[in-house]
Amino acid sequence: MHPGPPTVAQLLRARFDSVTPGQSARSGQNHRAAAVQAFYKPVAIPAWLVGDSLSHPAQEVLALLARAWVYGLQPADYGVASLLSLRDSLAMPAPATARQLQLVRYEVSLTDAVLAFAHDLKHGRRHRVRQPAEAAAQLRAALAGGALSATLLASQPANPEYRQLQLALAQWLAQAPGPPDSVVAHHRLRFERIALNLERWRAEPIAESEYLLVNIPAFELLVMGHDTVKRRARVIVGKPATPTPTLRSRIKYFTLAPVWNVPYSIASQEMLPRLQDDPSFLAASDLAVYDGRHQRRNPRTIAWSEVTEQTFKYTIQQDAGPRNVLGNVVFHFPNPYLVYLHDTPERYLFAQANRALSHGCIRVERPRELAAWLLRREGNPTPLPTAAQARQSPPQEVLLRRPLPIFIRYATVTAENGHLRFFRDIYGQDQVLREALYCPK
């Protein structure tokens, strides 16, 4: 009696039992192959088949993969066309052994696609975050839970910036004449711009319930509380030559009537030529110069013509006052870039459309309102002194018992109430990300 063809489970065991732990990495196979190996290594049994047919979860997740566009991803990245072709081939007559091999190929290919999709949906395509064993265990748990698609989709970032953008993309695609890979170029480019920004939120999601968000390309500050915009203000951000960095931190205190210690780069590169031409400009701007012992010096007694950028050993300081470049209040949050949020005497600049004008710090419209809101958030009813009153005393630091999370982000597309908002890519970061995602080398 001749034995029948090997079963799918037997073929799976033969395929994965021969691979020892760590072999995948040594042989140069990629992260996805390692995750597939981890999925079948404990018990090599089919996950997507019922006998010789596809299970309901297999049909469900295949339909989800085919709609990857809705989440800013591409079905082609998960081999959807090949999976559909292979699925259709299973309906055609085939010898028993060939059919079993077809089923194994489909089984493993679908696992590979789902693991990749699950990762990209949560973390984005640029970074391999989860370990293969962790990814495999999470997929097994999702299958066992009986709501595979819902479980996968629930892993997306929860912050409203991501969710509103993803829903707006889905609405836009529902009205589009076809998927982004089958219509005119501007449709594809529009999709890519939205997808780039979903990718940014996946890479750096926000898990806080209350926070301050600065979106650099939008020139906008939002105070967010439980998915609601509590406050909104225009901001001025860094010029392309001196860009504002993205970061996350916490506003720990603010300073009323601050003194401005001119950054060394500004003093030695921008002010030095002016000092060499006419030192009196300092007094006209309420600026003073100090030597290395912090002794105030008369700028006319310094031989500025002999000073270079490399030998500049002075500190320039601006006292509080109506011309102080920091305005009447500065908000401080720890960061390695020495960036802060502050007022400005040049409030007319907030009316300009292009507000990429600073050296990297962020100037905020109506900063005293933000400071007063921070005090109310603390439960502190003490009113702020007027700007004139504050300048009658030394700079006053107001510590916050509840530091407010702050996120500075770079999003060139956002959405509110289903409406997409597009902003100019002022620092040229979209093209860099587009090449990484859509132009692999």
Residue 171 lies in a domain: no
Residue 340 lies in a domain: yes
Phi-psi group of 424: left, alpha or beta (phi > 0 → left; psi -120 to 50 → alpha; rest → beta): beta
Specify whether 439 is catalytic: no
Query: Is 393 found in the same domain as 280?
Result: no
Query: Is 240 found in the same domain as 93?
Result: no
Residue 331 lies in a domain: yes
pLDDT value of residue 240: 97
The Cα 65–Cα 81 span in angstroms is 10
Contact 435, 201 (CB under 8 A): no
Tell me the per-residue pLDDT of 108-166, one tens digit each, with 9 for 90 and over: 999 999 999 999 999 999 876 667 888 888 999 999 888 899 999 999 999 999 999 99
Residue 181 lies in a domain: no
The Cα 136–Cα 156 span in angstroms is 18
Q: Which is the catalytic residue, given 56, 294, 361, 439?
A: 361
Tell me the per-residue pLDDT of 34-55, one tens digit each, with 9 for 90 and over: 889 988 887 788 999 988 888 9
Q: Once rounded to an integer, what is the mean pLDDT over residues 96-106?
A: 88
Query: Is 313 found in the same domain as 340?
Result: no
The Cα 178–Cα 172 span in angstroms is 11
Answer with the one of 96, 126, 156 that is the final residue of a domain. Answer: 156
Query: Is 245 found in the same domain as 394?
Result: yes
Answer with the one of 318, 352, 387 that is the final residue of a domain. Answer: 318
Which whole-number Å values give the CA distances from 432 to 193, 380, 428, 436, in the listed order? Answer: 12, 45, 7, 6
Query: Is 280 found in the same domain as 149?
Result: no
Query: Is 312 found in the same domain as 333?
Result: no
Query: Is 284 found in the same domain as 144?
Result: no
The Cα 33–Cα 413 span in angstroms is 34
Q: Which is the catalytic residue, given 31, 123, 342, 359?
A: 342
Q: Total domain count for the chain? A: 3
Q: Is the pLDDT of residue 270 over 60?
A: yes
The Cα 54–Cα 38 span in angstroms is 22
Tell me the residue range of the domain where 304 lies.
Answer: 264-318
Query: Is 368 found in the same domain as 297?
Result: no
Residue 192 lies in a domain: no
Quick one: how far is CA 31 from the chain centroid? 23
Query: Is 402 found in the same domain as 303?
Result: no
CA atoms within 13 A on the CB side of 439: 6
pLDDT value of residue 239: 97
Task: Of 216, 222, 122, 135, give the one whose Cα is nearest residue 166.
Answer: 122
The Cα 434–Cα 221 span in angstroms is 26
Query: Is 348 found in the same domain as 314?
Result: no
Residue 281 lies in a domain: yes
Residue identified by tokens 């194994």 is 104
Residue 231 lies in a domain: yes
CATH number at residue 369: 2.40.440.10
Specify whether 361 is catalytic: yes
Query: Is 324 found in the same domain as 308?
Result: no
For the chain, give the number of residues: 441
Residue 176 lies in a domain: no
Tell me the per-residue pLDDT of 278-330, one tens digit each, with 9 for 90 and over: 998 898 888 999 998 889 999 999 999 999 999 999 999 999 988 899 999 99
Query: Is 362 found in the same domain as 250?
Result: yes
Measured torsion, CA atoms of residues 347, 351, 353, 356, in degrees rounded to the nearest 10: 0
Q: Is the pLDDT of residue 26 over 60?
A: no
